[in-house]
Amino acid sequence: MVLVLPDMVWYSSVQSDEVSLLIENHLLGGQRVQQMLYYRFHPQK
């Protein structure tokens, strides 16, 4: 599990080779990585 603060965005099943994707898209780009969001806190619409 990865929690991004202060956004309160939870990611699940994050593998070490996917960390760069989270950094590039969420932390630097401001876009959530939809396929890795933890479904209990971020249900699909």
Measured distance between the N- and C-terminal CA atoms of the chain, rounded to whole angstroms: 21
The mean pLDDT value for 23-43 works out to 95
What is the reported pTM?
0.84
Q: What is the pLDDT at residue 26?
A: 97
pLDDT reading at 44 higher than 90: no
Phi then psi dihedrals of residue 4, to 5 deg:
-100, 115
pLDDT reading at 43 higher than 90: no
Under a CB-based contact definition with an 8 Å cutoff, are residues 45 and 23 in contact? Answer: no
Cis peptide preceding 43, ω within 30 of 0: no
Cα–Cα dist 19/44, whole Å: 22
Per-domain boundaries in the chain: 2-36
pLDDT reading at 17 higher than 80: yes
Q: How confident is the model at residue 2 (pLDDT cuts 50, 70, 90)?
A: very high
| Beta-strand runs (E) in 1-45 | 2-4, 9-11
Q: What is the pLDDT at residue 38?
A: 96
